[in-house]
Amino acid sequence: MLLGKGDGTFQSAVNYCAGAGPRSVAVGDFNKDGKTDLIVANWFSHHVSMLVGRGDGTFQSAVNYPAGSSPVSVSVADFNGDGKLDLAVANVGWAQDYPESGISVLPGVGDGTFQSAIRTGAAGLIPGPMAVGDFNGDGRVDAAVVERRSASVSVLLGKGDATFQTAVNYSVSGSPISIVAADFDGDGKPDLAVANQNSTNSPGLGNVSILLGRGDGTFLTSINYGVGTNPVSIAAADFNGDGKPDLVVANGGTPGSLPPPEGGGTVIPRDFGSISILSGNGDGTFQNAVNFRAGKFPVSVAVGDFNRDGKLDLAVANNGAQYNYSDNSVSVLFGRGDGTFPTLVNYGVGKYPVSVAVADFNGDGKADIAVAELHSGDVSVLTGNGDGTFQAPVNYAAGCPWFMAVGDLNGDGKPDIAAANLNLGTVSVLLNISVSPGMDFAIHRSATAMTFSWPLPSAAFLLESASNLGSTNWQRAVEVPATNSGRLEIAVPLNQPQRFFRLRKP
């Protein structure tokens, strides 16, 4: 765990034992004490670990709950409608070895403990990432889970008692790897977008399957859109400012050429990967993907406005070291606001970056970037300058970080980082100890008035006064102009006792 200082710096990581092979971490208040807790899905030990937060950035020892075989992802929601947070865990265990594969729900008791896991999903399902939402409008939480073995998405409608109806499978075109839920056709009903590897018609190439929701828990047959080679993650955002959700896909590429599909075709050449943007038309259809280069073998993408122009930009983690390349980097792609990202800047980071997150870690109003680096064992933080450039990365030893979660873990209002260490069986907590930059505020007292002065680039402010703070009849005292130096100055007379003054922008 890395606790943030508020100036973009973090305390040294504190590691907490979880289970073997932690793959995913989530945050939530599971005991209703107003403090953030951690939940970790552990691949090798087949359970989830619960770490209750003390509210100061430290955590109690992990308590483990059996979940199923080889948990890979965990989602937090109230699956039984009792007002307490529950867990839904995707267990990827192979059917011939682990009959517990499928989805497990662990109902929360509300005191930081959980009831025994309730398993759902037939043996033989090999689930991966999931999306949760109310797919049939009954007020109960449902789940959509990608299933690589059957090349489908399983939709499980919640009964409201922490169990699900029998899964209904929807075919997609390839091996699904990532999923996102959003309203793509503007009808107020959640739809699904799924990133697939090894397209049915062109092995090695990827595509995105769109499943439009009818609002009754069922979905239309998927519509497929080609993207780049080997997609690994997908996210939805409005990249062209038209109010309609678009899609971004990180395509991991391939280290060498791929043979043609069965029955003929062309050889797929080596591909270092790309970022695909699919602009939404607002009716459930998308324009053809436009691909943009990032670094070598991108695996994770996050969204933020890095140059403060009001247009969304992208941060991409590139793990080039996977194939013995030196391009361990984060790519920043600047958006024009029309769905295109023509400008690219790469920043070198540690070995084998696998996850990227965006937050304002130092409280200066500018977006910063955090990167988890599996092979170097660090979390790197790149502080944004607000003009699209970043300071050199600062590395914090974590362990073997595979997945990150960002949140306020000690209640100080600053974003901290929790990282699941894949091969160490631990969770690293990095607490933010940054200090927000102060304001140049000056006070001068004369015989007749108190004068307050600070920088503020606006002249449209009024100074008002009233006899008490709760008054609805504030009287205009004076308009406050900016000085020639770009500062605002307020002179409050000392001969008006028992009066309150406020500065208001009309």
- Per-residue pLDDT at 263: 45
pLDDT band at 159 (very low <50, low <70, confident <90, very high): very high
* Rounded-to-integer distance, Cα 342 and Cα 291, Å: 10
CA atoms 373, 404, 345, 226: torsion sign: positive
Domain boundaries, given as residue ranges, for the chain: 2-433, 442-504
Question: Cα–Cα distances in Å, from 450 out to 47, 445, 495, 496, 498?
Answer: 63, 5, 11, 12, 15
Q: What is the pLDDT of residues 73-103, one digit of tens each?
A: 889 999 999 999 999 998 887 544 555 568 8
Q: Over 70: is that where the pLDDT of 2 sits?
A: no
CA atoms within 13 A on the CB side of 65: 25
The dotted CATH code for 2-433 is 2.130.10.10
Q: What is the mean pLDDT of the chain?
A: 82
Q: Over 90: is that where the pLDDT of 476 sits?
A: no
* Rounded-to-integer distance, Cα 347 and Cα 358, Å: 15
pLDDT band at 111 (very low <50, low <70, confident <90, very high): very high
pTM exceeds 0.95 for this model: no
Q: Over 60: is that where the pLDDT of 1 sits?
A: no
Bridge-based pairing state of the strands 2-5 and 426-433: parallel
CA atoms 322, 325, 331, 333: torsion sign: negative
Q: What is the pLDDT of residues 282-315, one digit of tens each?
A: 999 999 999 998 888 899 999 999 999 999 999 9
Strand partners, 49: 40, 64
Q: Which of 129, 289, 282 is nearest to 212 (CA)?
A: 282
